[in-house]
């Protein structure tokens, strides 16, 4: 049989299973004995006892039936008693036959009981018949014999009943004794199985745990890089095979450690071989060495390019710084001019607001004057009408005075005084008429003059309102221009901030270029640590040089795209337009192009 842990454990647990089977067999034997004893107690003991009690009950029923018939002493009761007693007699014989079949060893005693029961039955029937016939002397004697027969039957049945109870008790006692023995045997076998299983568990677990512990210790040392391990387990089971595999793993790990030492010393010319088609570690390590060689070659070429580019970056940063200084001076001049322009526009806006207020008030006053002139014309017309009425009254008064003078002349002496009064009234009426005509003429002239004045005011009023609207538009334009100048000033301040930022960025770029040169030199010194296959490395380095210089030249001053800010141009009427601000770290600036700027 092959020696391995599986077979050993199968053998050990097979022994445990055999002991368990033995225990099951022993328990089965004892259990069958217990079942047999219980069946015997149930069938022969308690079953026979039940049949014996049935015999006794049938005998008592027969005795009771015939005794009742003796007491009643009628033929009808005797006939019924005979039928009932016969039924119990049949049942008695059936129970007796069943009892004989169950207890063959007591067959003679049961047959004797049947014989005694037959005699008992005949004596009871004869006694009842004698009482019915009225022969009391013979009946009394027969009753004594009937009672004696019943006592004998009951005595024999009681013996059988006691025997059945004793057999049942013996069977139960035997079953209990068998159960006790079975329990003791089961406990002994269970203890033996437990001890045997524990012993096997200790033996196998000890051997397996000891071997696995040694393997775990080896694996732990290898996991922390301790290669000073000794593996000396030479068993033929799985533990021995595991030890062999650990030995092979130790050797392979040692080879990888030696390879890593070469790589740590900068030797990238080592040869990495795959141990099998499934060796992902060595395949990845080989790929890593190849890629690392290529990367070192690329880094070496890039370091040279960085060193060259840093010098050019330093020169460019100086130019950017100088241009930023010039632009800063220009922005200062523009900012001063914008402040003066803002002050002038603010004064113009204030004058426009005052003019607008005066024009609005003049328009309101002119409207009120036109309304007053219209009311004056209306009043003059009413006056002219009233004057015409006065003129008519004067004319009527003159006529009345004339009539009064005529009447006074007719009166003679008596009418002289009245004639004088009439003459004065006539003169007064004539003077009133003349004055009314003069006033009427003046009123007509005043109406014409007022009408002309109203017409002139109505013609002037729209022009005054138009003037007020124009002044308001001038005020709004001045405010819009002021806001544009304010935004323009903010844009100039922002542009100045950008210029300052560019100047600082240029200085920082110069410092960075110097630091970059130093770092490139350090990088070249660090890369010199690695030993490369110069043939392949130089070819890749040369290919990188071919396109790397152009890429560096294009990327040398490639700064982030400029944002847009609002700048005011006079040729656009002071409106705001978008111009590049350079916010975000710098901008592509044409240092000599000042075409977009105008001095104020």
Longest dimension (CA), the chain: 215
Out of 73-87, 298-312, 325-339, 513-527, the most confident range is 73-87
Q: Is the pLDDT of residue 449 over 80?
A: yes
Q: What is the pLDDT of residue 591?
A: 42
| pLDDT one-digit tens code per residue, 388-409 | 788 788 778 878 877 877 877 8
Q: What is the pLDDT of residue 553?
A: 38
Contact 88, 103 (CB under 8 A): no
- The angle formed by the CA atoms of residues 258, 262 and 264, to the nearest 5 degrees, is 110
Tell me the pLDDT band of 34, cut-offs 50, 70 and 90: low
- Find the length of the chain: 600
Q: What is the pLDDT of residue 548?
A: 43
Q: How many CB atoms lie within 10 A of CB 228?
A: 5
Helix or strand or coil: residue 600?
coil
Q: How many CB atoms lie within 10 A of CB 387?
A: 20
Tell me the pLDDT band of 595, cut-offs 50, 70 and 90: low
Mean pLDDT computed over 197-201: 82
Q: Is the pLDDT of residue 115 over 80?
A: yes
Q: How far is the C-alpha of 328 from the C-alpha of 331, rounded, in Å? A: 5
Residue indicated by tokens 């040694």: 214
Q: Is the pLDDT of residue 470 over 50?
A: yes
Buried b / exposed e along 543-569 (16+ C-beta atoms within 10 A):
ebeeebeeebeeeeeebeebeebbbbe
Contact 221, 253 (CB under 8 A): no
Q: How far is the C-alpha of 215 from the C-alpha of 219, rounded, in Å? A: 6
Tell me the pLDDT band of 546, cut-offs 50, 70 and 90: very low
Mean pLDDT computed over 18-26: 78
Q: What is the pLDDT of residue 158?
A: 80
Mean pLDDT computed over 245-254: 70
| pLDDT one-digit tens code per residue, 496-523 | 787 778 777 777 777 887 777 777 777 7
Query: If residue 186 lies in a helix (H) or strand (E), which one and from where to where?
Result: helix 136-223
Burial class (CB in 10 A: 0-12, 13-18, 19+), 262: middle
Residue 124 or 413, more confident: 124
DSSP 405-431: HHHHHHHGGGGHHHHHHHHHHHHHHHH
The angle, 0 to 180 degrees and rounded to 10, between the axes of the packed helices 280-411 and 534-555 is 10
User: Residue 56's closest CA among 107, 96, 86?
Assistant: 96
Residue 577 backbone phi and psi in degrees, to 5 = -130, 165
Mean pLDDT computed over 199-219: 75
Contact 313, 586 (CB under 8 A): no
Mean pLDDT computed over 75-99: 86
Mean pLDDT computed over 361-369: 76
Q: How far is the C-alpha of 158 from the C-alpha of 156, rounded, in Å? A: 5
Name the β-bridge partners of 580: 564
Q: What is the pLDDT of residue 574?
A: 44
CATH C-level class of 283-580: mainly alpha
Percent of the chain having pLDDT more than 70? Answer: 78
Mean pLDDT computed over 471-497: 79
As a whole number, the mean pLDDT across the chain is 73
Q: Is the pLDDT of residue 578 over 50?
A: no
Q: What is the pLDDT of residue 565?
A: 38
Q: Is the pLDDT of residue 563 over 50?
A: no
Q: Output the CA torsion 69→73→76→78 (10° steps).
A: 40
Percent of the chain having pLDDT more than 90? Answer: 0
DSSP 322-368: HHHHHHHHHHHHHHHHHHHHHHHHHHHHHHHHHHHHHHHHHHHHHHH
Q: Is the pLDDT of residue 191 over 80?
A: yes
CA 76 to chain centre: 102
Q: What is the pLDDT of residue 137?
A: 84
| pLDDT one-digit tens code per residue, 283-318 | 787 777 777 777 777 777 777 777 677 767 777 777
The angle, 0 to 180 degrees and rounded to 10, between the axes of the packed helices 75-102 and 47-72 is 170
Enumerate the domain spans of the chain: 5-214, 283-580
């Amino acid at each position: 049989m092959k020696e391995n842990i599986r077979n050993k454990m199968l053998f050990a647990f097979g022994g445990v299973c055999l002991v368990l089977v033995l225990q099951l067999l022993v328990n089965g034997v004892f259990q069958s004995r217990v079942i047999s004893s219980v069946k015997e107690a149930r069938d022969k003991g308690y079953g026979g006892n039940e049949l014996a009690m049935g015999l006794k009950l049938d005998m008592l029923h027969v005795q009771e039936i015939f005794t009742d018939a003796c007491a009643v002493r009628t033929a009808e009761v005797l006939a019924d008693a005979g039928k009932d007693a016969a039924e119990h007699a049949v049942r008695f014989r059936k129970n007796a036959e069943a009892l004989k079949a169950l207890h063959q060893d007591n067959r003679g005693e049961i047959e004797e009981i049947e014989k005694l029961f037959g005699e008992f039955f005949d004596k009871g029937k004869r006694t009842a018949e004698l009482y019915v016939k009225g022969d009391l002397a013979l009946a009394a004697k027969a009753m004594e014999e009937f009672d004696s027969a019943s006592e004998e039957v009951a005595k024999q049945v009681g013996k059988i009943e006691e025997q059945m109870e004793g057999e049942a008790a013996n069977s139960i006692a035997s079953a209990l004794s068998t159960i006790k023995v079975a329990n003791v045997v089961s406990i002994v076998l269970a203890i033996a199985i437990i001890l045997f299983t524990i012993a096997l568990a200790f033996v196998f677990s000890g051997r397996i745990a000891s071997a696995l512990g040694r393997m775990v210790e080896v694996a732990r040392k290898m996991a922390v890089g301790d290669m000073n391990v000794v593996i000396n387990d030479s068993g033929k089971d799985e533990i021995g095979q595991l030890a062999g595999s650990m030995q092979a793993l130790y050797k392979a790990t040692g080879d990888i450690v030696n390879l890593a030492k070469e790589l740590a010393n900068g030797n990238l010319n080592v040869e990495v071989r795959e141990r099998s088609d499934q060796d992902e570690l060595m395949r990845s390590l080989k790929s890593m060495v190849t890629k690392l060689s290529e990367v070192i070659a690329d880094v070496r070429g890039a370091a040279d390019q960085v060193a060259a580019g840093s010098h050019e970056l330093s020169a460019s940063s100086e130019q950017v710084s100088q241009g930023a200084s010039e632009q800063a001076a220009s922005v200062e001049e523009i900012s001063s001019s914008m402040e003066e322009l803002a002050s002038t526009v603010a004064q113009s806006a204030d004058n426009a607001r005052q003019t607008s207020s005066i024009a609005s008030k003049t328009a309101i006053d002119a409207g009120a004057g036109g309304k007053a002139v219209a009311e004056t014309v209306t009043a003059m017309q009413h006056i002219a009408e009233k004057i015409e009425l006065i003129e008519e009254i004067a004319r009527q008064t003159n006529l009345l005075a004339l009539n009064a003078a005529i009447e006074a002349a007719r009166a003679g002496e008596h009418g002289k005084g009245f004639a004088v009064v009439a003459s004065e009234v006539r003169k007064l009426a004539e003077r009133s008429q003349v004055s009314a005509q003069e006033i009427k003429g003046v009123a007509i002239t005043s109406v014409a003059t007022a009408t002309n004045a109203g017409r002139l005011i109505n013609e002037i009023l729209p022009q005054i309102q138009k003037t007020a609207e124009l002044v308001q538009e001038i005020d709004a334009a001045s405010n819009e221009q002021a806001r544009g100048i304010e935004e323009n000033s903010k844009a100039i301040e922002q542009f100045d901030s950008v210029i300052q930022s560019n100047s600082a960025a240029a200085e920082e770029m110069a410092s960075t270029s110097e630091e970059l040169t130093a770092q490139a030199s350090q990088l070249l010194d660090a890369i010199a640590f690695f030993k490369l296959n110069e043939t392949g490395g130089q070819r890749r380095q040369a290919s990188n040089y071919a396109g790397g210089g152009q890429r560096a030249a294009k990327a040398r001053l490639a700064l982030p795209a400029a944002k847009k800010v609002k700048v005011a141009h006079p040729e656009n009427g002071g409106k705001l337009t978008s111009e590049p601000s350079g916010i975000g770290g710098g901008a592509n600036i044409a240092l000599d192009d000042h075409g977009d700027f105008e001095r104020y």
